[in-house]
Amino acid sequence: MSEVQGTVEFSVELHKFYNVDLFQRGYYQIRVTLKVSSRIPHRLSASIVGQTDGGSLHSACVHESTVHSRVFQILYRNEEVPVNDAVVFRAHLLLDGERVEEALSEVDFQLKVDLHFTDSEQQLRDMAGVPVISSRALRLHFHPRRGLHHQVPVMFDYFHLSVISVTVHAALVALQQPLISFTRPGRGSWLGRGGPDTGPEQSSLSLENLVFGAGYCKPTSSEGSFYVPSEHCMQHAYKWHRELCFLLLHAYRGLRAYFLTIMRDVPELPHMELESLAVEETLSQLCSELQVIRELTSCF
């Protein structure tokens, strides 16, 4: 099976925290983690948007791919506190190269949102040890063409009645040859759970096999640079290239369509432009350029 590395970026913004009826005064923190189904080999990373090295001790940070918001103090009922932290999660996924769009649509993405609390100023020196008091999980319905654009108030449980407003954007940003190692689920696990991982594994598929298909045979040293892949292999390469470009162009079009909607509905935003790319015309141009490259290389 040919495999493709797909990269999906999630932008998560924590806006305001609303104290509806918290029982205790003290220091609170929101922690956010992106979860991906263990059935899909994947790698995750996270970074704070606009963060500088000179951040304070209690500013937003990333710890083991979990985002810790800044620490804020709650003193009164019905209090509103602006959090205004933004993070970008990057999910690198190992996908079936023959059904990339379907594989992306089937990935189970979840956003875990935890509320942590302490009433001890001394414990603020070690926020990693501050206990979680309530947790929520949001299922993210990502579509590779449309992406994901959603704003939702996340309400914690009755005993810690409070709300954090969250905005989530997601888009497919890359499809390429697997370039990093992935941990695959254990063979004996049920739906990727309960079994030991096989450990980091680099995709054994070469770039040539990925592009030209499983029937491609690596040329011998005697054939040298005069080796030409079969017509069947070339047609597989054209088809594979066209499908990946088609999906990426649709992902870009979906992102731009939402961007234009926001610019129209929120006119006070700074005016920006995103280049318009006609999917069919751009796809035809990319395929033609690939054909030209083949014709040029066949002349040598």
pLDDT in tens, 35-68: 998 888 999 999 998 765 545 657 888 988 899 9
Q: Number of structural domains, the chain?
A: 2
129 and 241, same domain (yes or no) = no
Is residue 64 a part of any domain in this protein? yes
Residues 221 and 274 in one domain: yes
DSSP output for the chain? --EEEEEEEEEEEEEEEEEEE-S--EEEEEEEEEEE-TTS-EEEEEEETT--TT--TTS-EEETTEEEPPPEEE-STT-EEEEEEEEEEEEEEEEETTSHHHHHHH--EEEEEEEEEE--TGGGGGGGGPPEEEEEEEEE--BTTTBEEEEEEEE--GGGEEEEEEEEEEEEEEEES--S-EEPPPTTSBTTBSS----EE-----HHHHHH-TT--PPPTTTGGG----HHHHHHHHHHHHHHHHHHHHHHHHHHHHHHHHHHH-TTSPP-------HHHHHHHHHHHHHHHHHHHHT-
Residue 21 lies in a domain: yes
Residue 132 and residue 77 share a domain: yes
Q: Are residues 143 and 233 in the same domain?
A: no
Q: Is the pLDDT of residue 186 over 80?
A: no
pTM comes to 0.82
Higher-confidence residue of 115 and 186: namely: 115
- Are residues 164 and 47 both part of a single domain? yes
Q: How confident is the model at residue 189 (pLDDT cuts 50, 70, 90)?
A: very low
Let me know if residue 218 belongs to a domain.
Answer: yes
Q: Are residues 116 and 171 in the same domain?
A: yes
The reply to whether 126 and 219 lie within a common domain is no
Whether residue 193 is contained in a domain is answered as: no
Tell me whether residue 63 is in a domain: yes
pLDDT recorded at residue 195? 41
Q: 279-298 and 231-265 are packed helices; what angle lies between their axes, rounded to 10 degrees?
A: 150
Does 216 score more than 70 pLDDT? Answer: no
Q: What is the pLDDT of residue 196?
A: 42
Domain that holds residue 267: 206-298
Considering the domain architecture, whether residues 90 and 237 belong to the same structural domain is answered as: no
132-140/148-155 β-pairing: unpaired
| Range 124-136 average pLDDT | 85
**pLDDT value at residue 219:** 57
Question: Does residue 189 sit within a domain?
Answer: no
- The per-residue b/e assignment along 180-212, b for 16 or more CB within 10 angstroms, e otherwise, is eebebbbeeeeeeeeeeeeeeeebebeeebbbb
The reply to whether 171 and 271 lie within a common domain is no
For residues 23 and 132, membership in a common domain is answered with yes
One domain for residues 142 and 218: no
Q: Which residue has the higher pLDDT, 189 or 180?
A: 180
Residue that terminates a domain, selected from 161, 176, 191: 176
pLDDT confidence of residue 188: 43
Asked if residue 129 is part of any domain, the answer here is: yes
Distance between CA atoms of 70 and 72, rounded to whole angstroms?
A: 6
Single-letter residue type at 153: P
Percent of the chain with pLDDT strictly greater than 90: 42
Which structure tokens are listed for 255?
């992102």
Provide, rounded to the nearest whole percent, the portion of the chain with pLDDT above 70.
79
CATH of the domain at 71: 2.60.40.150
Domain assignment present for 221: yes
**Claim to verify: residue 144 and residue 237 sit in the same structural domain:** no
